[in-house]
């Protein structure tokens, strides 16, 4: 057992209102520089929908992630031999057209336009070329458009759905969609890291944050194609790859990342997970059916004496172990089994987990009658307007059981709380539902508390980074003496 610590995340999709505050917080801090305008390290997608970059989940097109080849794991887009042959032209590289051409507006025209018959307009200008452009797509082009078949029907997750299930989604006046905020998953088996010819991408040992060493990146751009979530971006101006850094300067000072902190719906949770690093490859090679359970099994119980001893032996501090014991993510992922990894069939073992959303249906119209509570407690989940199959393709590697489990439990908790506070349901019924959803009363209370009444400190249990033990702290403190002074720092500019 090789115990490592990872800062992991849970997004509670049932609480996401799709306000994009997270995206804006991130953009304002990190990606408002030249060459990064088109990047959205954090973005919120409407599902069903094609997302950003369009159709990123379609790995026939983008060749992201891993595949099993004769029992062995290999990158879909590249590999040791293929990297040499394709270094001059990467055949699976997405281009700016797959994202969008960033633009601003010629606002001055509103003031300076000569007198005329028409209202002057602010014409869009490309932020790459500076020329006037026609806007043809954007980072959120199909936002809230899931009911319109023109966009939603292209969602790759719909591929295995029956015609009837598709009808369920887009029936007139029954448009249904949910929001899917995405950042880098800071995976345990990152395809971006594995594909980088320069070794510029790496996973930080102490907290598992995946970073790009800007001084070692040489723009071989393998990572862009290799990441199945398309969360590594190419800065076309500096000629370097960039990605979500999980706001590590904030984490190291005890603050939650900007997207977490700004979240209006308080859907985001952050905490430590301890995991067994020796099992990464073994788990990533499992069959699709075994992936979710396998992934969960490599996350270790932070209260287990053996695990604690292993953590100590690996130099993990007491404070980090304590943070792991209090981690909200551990509760959601391992204890309650409510949170599921997105597209784990890409085999990168993501460390961002999603609580699947409930469809907002308490009653459905059938034969002109309103059908509400029946003897069958969970009927509306299986008949849900967001078909279970769809959620299974997104969060269950095609398996409906783990998604159904998470949805049942969520519903049972809701009805239990309804029995407690509203009282229109008997406690007997509520407890029956809890039992059917594999949930005790204590657990239901804990889920309710962490979902609905959570404070900042409940949601973000950030371990101290112990930078006092970092390499630089062990250097001779006098080593930089007499070197500081006035001078110039060169910015991250292209070429010499």
| Window 81 to 110, contacts with other proteins (CB under 8 A) | 83-84, 87-91, 93-97
Q: Is residue 197 a contact residue for other proteins (CB under 8 A)?
A: yes
**Is residue 239 a contact residue for other proteins (CB under 8 A)?**
yes
Q: For residues 9-48, which are near other proteins according to CB under 8 A?
A: none
Residues 433-472 that bind other proteins (CB under 8 A): 466-467, 469-471
The two three-digit tokens of residue 292, written as one number: 């979710």
366 counts as binding other proteins under rule CB under 8 A = no
- CA-CA distances (angstroms) from residue 115 to 44, 108, 123, 124, 354? 41, 14, 17, 20, 55
Q: Among 149, 205, 254, 360, which residue sits at the site for other proteins (rule: CB under 8 A)?
A: 205
The residues, ordered by sequence, that sit 6+ positions from 308 with a Cβ below 8 Å of its Cβ are 302, 321
Q: ∠68-69-73 over CA atoms, to 5°? A: 50
- In 282-393, beta strands by DSSP E: 299-300, 352-355, 364-366, 369-371
178/185 Cα distance (integer angstroms): 20
Total residues belonging to the chain: 496
Burial of 40 (0-12, 13-18, 19+ CB in 10 A): buried
Q: Which of 204, 250, 337, 432 binds other proteins (CB under 8 A)?
A: 204
Which of 71, 368, 477, 495 touches other proteins by CB under 8 A? 495
Whole-angstrom distance, CA of residue 462 vs CA of residue 58:
34
| Helices 388-395 and 163-170, axial angle in degrees (round to 10) | 100
Q: What residues are paired with 66 via a beta bridge? A: 75
Out of 113, 128, 425, 454, which residue is the one contacting other proteins (CB under 8 A)?
A: 128
Region of 173-181, 264-272, 394-402, 487-495 interacting with other proteins (CB under 8 A)? 487-495
Binding mask 41-80 for other proteins (x = CB under 8 A): ---------------------------------------x
- 198 lines the binding site for other proteins (CB under 8 A): yes
- Residue span binding other proteins (CB under 8 A) among the ranges 217-225, 267-275, 293-301, 440-448: 217-225
Q: How many residues bind other proteins (CB under 8 A)?
A: 60
Residues 400-439 touching other proteins, rule: CB under 8 A, are: none
Map residues 263-302 to x or -, x wherever contact with other proteins holds by CB under 8 A.
Answer: -----------------x----------------------
Which lies closer to other proteins via its Cβ, residue 201 or residue 267? 201
CB atoms inside a 10 Å sphere around CB 159: 10
Residues 6+ apart with CB under 8 A from 291: 283, 344, 345, 347, 397
User: Cβ closer to other proteins: 129 or 374?
Assistant: 129
Binding segment (CB under 8 A) for other proteins, from list 173-181, 422-430, 432-440, 486-494: 486-494
Radius of gyration, alpha carbons of the chain: 24
Minimum distance of other proteins from residue 60's CB (angstroms): 17
Question: Residues 166-194, buried b or exposed e (16+ Cβ, 10 A)?
Answer: bebbbeeeeebbbbbbbbbbbbbbbbbbb
Residue pair 125/101 in contact by the 8 Å Cβ criterion:
no
- Beta carbon nearer to other proteins, 131 or 428: 131
**Residue 189 touching other proteins (CB under 8 A):** yes
Strand-pair partners of 486: none
In the bound state with other proteins, the residue whose beta carbon lies nearer, of 88 and 486, is 88
Rule CB under 8 A: which residues touch other proteins? Answer: 80, 83-84, 87-91, 93-97, 128-131, 189-190, 193-194, 196-199, 201-206, 214-215, 217-221, 224, 234, 236-240, 280, 314-315, 466-467, 469-471, 474, 490, 492-496
């Amino acid at each position: 057992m090789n115990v490592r610590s990872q800062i992991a995340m849970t997004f509670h999709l049932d609480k996401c209102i799709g306000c994009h505050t997270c995206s804006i917080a991130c953009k304002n801090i990190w990606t408002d520089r030249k060459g990064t305008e088109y990047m959205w390290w954090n973005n919120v997608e409407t599902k069903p929908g094609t997302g950003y970059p369009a159709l990123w989940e379609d790995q026939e097109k983008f060749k992201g992630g891993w595949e099993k080849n004769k029992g062995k794991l290999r990158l879909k887009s590249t590999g040791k031999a293929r990297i040499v042959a394709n270094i001059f032209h990467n055949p699976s590289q997405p281009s700016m057209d797959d994202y969008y051409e960033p633009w601003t507006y010629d606002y001055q025209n509103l003031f300076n336009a000569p007198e005329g018959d028409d209202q002057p307009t602010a014409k869009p200008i490309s932020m790459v070329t500076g020329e006037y452009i026609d806007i043809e797509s954007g980072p959120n082009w199909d936002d809230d458009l899931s009911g319109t078949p023109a966009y939603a029907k292209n969602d790759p997750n719909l591929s295995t759905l029956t015609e009837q299930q598709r009808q369920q989604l887009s029936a007139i006046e029954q448009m249904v969609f949910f929001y899917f905020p995405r950042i880098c998953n800071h995976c345990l088996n990152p395809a971006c890291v594995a594909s980088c010819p320069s070794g510029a991408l790496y996973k930080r040992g102490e907290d598992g944050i995946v970073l790009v060493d800007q001084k070692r990146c040489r723009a071989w751009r393998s990572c862009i194609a290799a990441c199945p979530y398309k969360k590594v971006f190419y800065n076309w101006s500096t000629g370097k790859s960039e990605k979500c850094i999980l706001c590590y300067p904030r984490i190291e000072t005890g603050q939650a990342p900007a997207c977490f902190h700004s979240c209006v719906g308080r859907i985001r949770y952050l905490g430590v997970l301890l995991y067994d690093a020796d099992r990464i490859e073994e788990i990533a090679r499992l069959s699709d059916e075994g992936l979710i359970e396998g992934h969960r099994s490599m996350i270790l119980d932070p209260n287990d004496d053996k695990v604690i001893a292993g953590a100590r032996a690996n130099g993990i501090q007491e404070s980090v172990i304590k943070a792991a014991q209090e981690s909200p993510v551990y509760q959601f992922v391992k204890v309650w089994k409510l949170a599921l990894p997105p597209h784990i069939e890409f085999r990168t073992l993501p460390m961002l987990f999603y609580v699947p959303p409930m469809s907002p249906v308490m009653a459905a119209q059938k034969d002109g009658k309103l059908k509400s509570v029946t003897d069958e407690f969970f009927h509306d989940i299986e008949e849900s307007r967001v078909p279970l199959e769809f959620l299974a393709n997104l969060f269950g590697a095609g398996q409906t059981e783990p998604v159904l489990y998470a949805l049942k439990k969520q519903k049972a908790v809701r009805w239990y709380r309804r029995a407690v506070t509203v009282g229109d349901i008997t406690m007997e019924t509520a407890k029956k539902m809890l039992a059917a959803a594999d949930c005790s009363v204590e657990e239901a209370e804990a889920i309710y508390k962490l979902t609905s009444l959570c404070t900042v400190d409940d949601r973000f249990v950030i371990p101290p980074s112990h930078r006092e033990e970092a390499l630089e702290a062990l250097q001779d403190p006098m080593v930089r003496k007499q070197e500081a002074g006035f001078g110039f720092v060169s910015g991250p500019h292209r070429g010499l």
